[in-house]
Structure 1
Amino acid sequence: MRRFLRHPVRLVPLGFLAAILLGTGLLMLPWATSEHRITPFVTALFTATSAVSVTGMAVVDTPNYWNTFGLVMITVLTQIGGIGIVTGATLVILLVARQLGLRNRLLVQAETQEFGIGDVRRLLLRIAATALVCEAVITAILAVRLAVSYDYPPGRALWHGVFHAVQGFNNGGFALYSDNLAGFARDGWVTLPLAFGAIIGGIGFPALFEAVREWRQPGHWAVATKLTVWGSLALLLAGFLVLLTAEWSNPRTLGSFGWPGKVLAAFTQDAFIRTGGFNVIDIEALDEETYPVMIALMFIGGGSASTAGGIKVATFFLLAFVIWAELRGQPDVTIGRRRVANASQRQAITLALLSVALVVVGTVALILMTEGTRYFQALFEVTSAFSTTGLSVGVAPTLPESGQLALILLMYIGRVGPLTLGSAIALNTRRPRYRYPQEQPIVG
């Protein structure tokens, strides 16, 4: 056990598991619910996993089922899951001990995927400062808007601002309204700050910091930053155009809005599709032609080392460059003036295939566990859980406990990451001292 715990990668899934179990215990307490009753174990486990994995999917009506204590616990768990349990623990060590040992630096490297360990101290401080500043700004805008335009008392406006700011920046998706944010679909003062918070939190801290630092010279960005930033913008634009076009005349979603409302709702919903988990339109009322696009965007997710899930934007576009290089018969995969390492290509392929396998197996399992669930509904729900997006077509609350446990497992794996979890289980630190002769089998 000591040898198992020594490796940082193995501690990441254990840290998240500990946070989930602790949150489950707290949410099962009678004073966490509005009716002061003990929450069933699976319901508490589902909610805790959804919060720590920053998914936002729920099997109960969040604002009515949980009281203030329960909602505060959900907020804390979301914050822990968003920044990262290992990053948060190392921040505590940094602030208390004023020093950071090599082992703790390696822990943060495993959590944030930062390649160098020399700047971990500065990285952690910048992560904390970025999160706090973004959440404070969003909180202030929401609190003022709710107090001035909706006549919320100051205390309630501040609480709603804090709760939704934490959910927005950390891509959580829980809301204090039964219809999520549908009631604010045409209020840009509420939805836009949350949308931009989700975008910033979903880019990823390493890419975000480099893009801000070298904003005048994007050509000098690292390959990962280029793939993440430009890829995120491309997906954001593509998703916006598809959603706006497909739902323009749908009276149950965008059809009842004027054109400014349609543009606003389409943009904010598009920003929440890949990462945020909020919904400003009724997801169950979408045209069936829209679901494949949403499923694809959720599966891709956000940036590496971010609060978002999915296979990550850099992984998706790296695979596109791999395919392009293979079709052109090029021996190397090049992006800009950089050659991509073979190890990165293998990791991207492994992550994508593992993710596809998990989604397929989860979809089939969900269909077998339930009656009357259509294929695209099961696929949507499974992809949303695995990508930690949290959008739902209403299937999760109706699932039996076995189905909810399956989604819990998918949310956990989606937050930890298939590649990280696989490395944690089957890690072999010893390198072979020999290589076999090479052979090239026929493919296709």
Structure 2
Amino acid sequence: MRSSLQQPARLVPLAFVAAITVGTVLLLLPIARTGPGGTDLITALFTATSAVCVTGLIIVDTSSYWTPFGQAVILALIQVGGFGIMTGSTLLGVLISRRLGLRTRIIAQAETRTLDLGDVTAVLRIILIATLLVELAVWGALAARLHWGYAEAWPIAIWHGLFHSISAFNNAGFSTYADSLMRFSDDWLVLGSIMVAVIIGGIGFPVLVDLRRTFRRPGRWSLHTKITLLGTAALIGVGTITVLGYESAAGGLFDPLTISERLLDALFHSVMTRTAGFNSIDIGALQTETLMLTNILMFIGGGSAGTAGGIKVSTALVLILAVWAQIRGEADTTAFGRRVSADILRQALTLIVLAMIAISLGTLHLLSVTTFSLEQVLFETISAFATVGLSTGITADLPPSAELTLVTLMFLGRVGTITVATGLALKRSQRPYRFPEERPIVG
């Protein structure tokens, strides 16, 4: 029984490897590239990994390097990665058999990270509904705006709208425009539609399920929902205000902009750092303080069991609550009248430490094989691990070994956290004895 419970921790990474492999092979085909012949292996592998892991980092321009076939492959990989390979296969089982067995529920839980096995069916249903509704709505809004507001022909507007709606909902950050979304930096409708899709996709499906059930009764929301919503609102708000303050100063990026443009771009940047990866401003021109803030927001990421990456809002808030409890001298970590179990605290601490180790090692390697500054390299590695996709502009100039390092970080950031969280949750071993307690000096 124990070996079968640990199966999801093996199946999830293997499924993502399979998707990346298929995507790499398809992108290697001559029909996928605009130039003569096919692309090289590293470019295909990097792009496929970035798409499946819904990151958005690119080493070639998506709009000019890849043909419509290549762009369609990237879009399909984004949808597969964001939707979740295990989630998608389980959904097919639901649609066919109208029921889930225990084994299938456990496999699906590894991907959706639902709080209870009984919630899996509801989560899968809401994933399908939310995906279709949000992507269709944003697709329609963007296509209409691009046609009537920017005079794009209907076929082009429809394609751009579809690509960006799927990329936004899945927090991927891929764009069919060479400048990402910088040309729309003053357009509230385009950027607003993208932000809505990013937030809904990245907040986490267990939260959506909880809100659907008890939307009018906030008192009955789960602790996970409460801390995710609170953390999301706080991070977006603090990020917006801080970016606005730093970049509106004399010489800042927002100095020549109107108040409306400043507010829109600050809000958009704050939302996109939650792992979406689109940009309406030049990331390489941001103030050092803004880049540091962006690093923090990227590292935290979005909600659990959604399309966002990072260590997740709930992980960060749980540890902040634990620190606050320790400062106050309280034995228990509590929030909203509930006590957080010690197991959850240890899992959160483990995920953060492993994330910091991965980012540190990746940063060290990039520093050793490039001449870029620590500021640029650290930004790149955090963006890769947190599956964000923002860059100061150095990605295309990295040597092959550095690109492979980013591939590894993207895979670990998307799949590693799932595997580790699942393994920690399922691993339960109890020694028949306990060692004598001793208290080493801390601090």
CA offset at residue 290 of structure 1? 1.1
Equivalent residues of 1:147, 1:154 under 8 A apart: yes
Matched, 1:347 2:378: no
Aligned to 1:123: 123
CA offset at residue 34 of structure 1? 1.2
Equivalent residues of 1:385, 1:411 under 8 A apart: yes
Aligned to 1:237: 237
- Distance in 2 between the 1:201 and 1:386 partners? 19
Matched, 1:47 2:47: yes
Matched, 1:254 2:257: no
CA offset at residue 7 of structure 1? 1.2
CA offset at residue 440 of structure 1? 2.9
Aligned to 1:293: 293
Equivalent residues of 1:302, 1:309 under 8 A apart: yes
- Distance in 1 between the 2:400 and 2:250 partners? 34
CA offset at residue 428 of structure 1? 5.5
Give, as a single letter, the amino acid of the residue that structure 1 aligns with 2:272: F
Equivalent residues of 1:252, 1:282 under 8 A apart: no
Equivalent residues of 1:168, 1:276 under 8 A apart: yes
Equivalent residues of 1:351, 1:419 under 8 A apart: no
CA offset at residue 327 of structure 1? 1.1
Give, as a single letter, the amino acid of the residue that structure 2 aligns with 1:291: L
- Distance in 1 between the 2:442 and 2:20 partners? 43
- Distance in 2 between the 1:93 and 1:197 partners? 27
Give, as a single letter, the amino acid of the residue that structure 1 aligns with 2:97: A
- Distance in 1 between the 2:313 and 2:197 partners? 17
Structure 1 segments, 4+ long, off by >6 Å, are none
- Distance in 2 between the 1:263 and 1:130 partners? 28
Equivalent residues of 2:351, 2:420 under 8 A apart: no
Aligned to 2:438: 439
Distance 1:298 1:42, change over 3 A: same
Aligned to 2:100: 100
CA offset at residue 115 of structure 1? 2.4
CA deviation string 1:254-291 (max 9, x = no partner): 22321111111111121111221000000011111211
Distance 1:265 1:426, change over 3 A: closer
Within a 5 Å distance, the mapping from 1:77-92 to structure 2 comes to 77-92=77-92
Equivalent residues of 1:254, 1:281 under 8 A apart: no
Distance 1:292 1:91, change over 3 A: same
Segments of 5+ residues of structure 1 without an aligned counterpart are: none
CA offset at residue 430 of structure 1? 5.2
Equivalent residues of 1:354, 1:418 under 8 A apart: no
Within a 5 Å distance, the mapping from 1:152-231 to structure 2 comes to 152-231=152-231
Distance 1:205 1:423, change over 3 A: closer
Matched, 1:306 2:306: yes
Aligned to 1:393: 392
The worse-fitting range, judged by mean Cα deviation, of 148-157 and 310-319 is 148-157
- 1:11 match: secondary structure: helix
CA offset at residue 200 of structure 1? 1.0
- 1:95 match: secondary structure: helix
Segments of 5+ residues of structure 2 without an aligned counterpart are: none
The worse-fitting range, judged by mean Cα deviation, of 175-184 and 248-257 is 248-257
- Distance in 2 between the 1:235 and 1:441 partners? 35
Distance 1:84 1:297, change over 3 A: same
- Distance in 1 between the 2:429 and 2:327 partners? 35
Within a 5 Å distance, the mapping from 1:260-339 to structure 2 comes to 260-339=260-339
TM-score in terms of structure 1 length: 0.95
CA offset at residue 121 of structure 1? 2.1
CA offset at residue 422 of structure 1? 7.7
Matched, 1:148 2:148: yes
- Distance in 1 between the 2:87 and 2:203 partners? 17
- 2:190 match: secondary structure: helix
Equivalent residues of 1:274, 1:302 under 8 A apart: yes
Give, as a single letter, the amino acid of the residue that structure 1 aligns with 2:327: L
- 1:173 match: secondary structure: coil
- Distance in 2 between the 1:179 and 1:99 partners? 46
Equivalent residues of 2:86, 2:107 under 8 A apart: yes
Aligned to 2:58: 58
- Distance in 1 between the 2:127 and 2:426 partners? 28
The CA RMSD over aligned residues, in Å, is: 2.0
Within a 5 Å distance, the mapping from 1:396-411 to structure 2 comes to 396-411=395-410
CA offset at residue 249 of structure 1? 4.0
Distance 1:22 1:432, change over 3 A: farther
- Distance in 2 between the 1:232 and 1:417 partners? 23
- Distance in 2 between the 1:46 and 1:5 partners? 32
- 1:339 match: secondary structure: strand
Matched, 1:12 2:12: yes
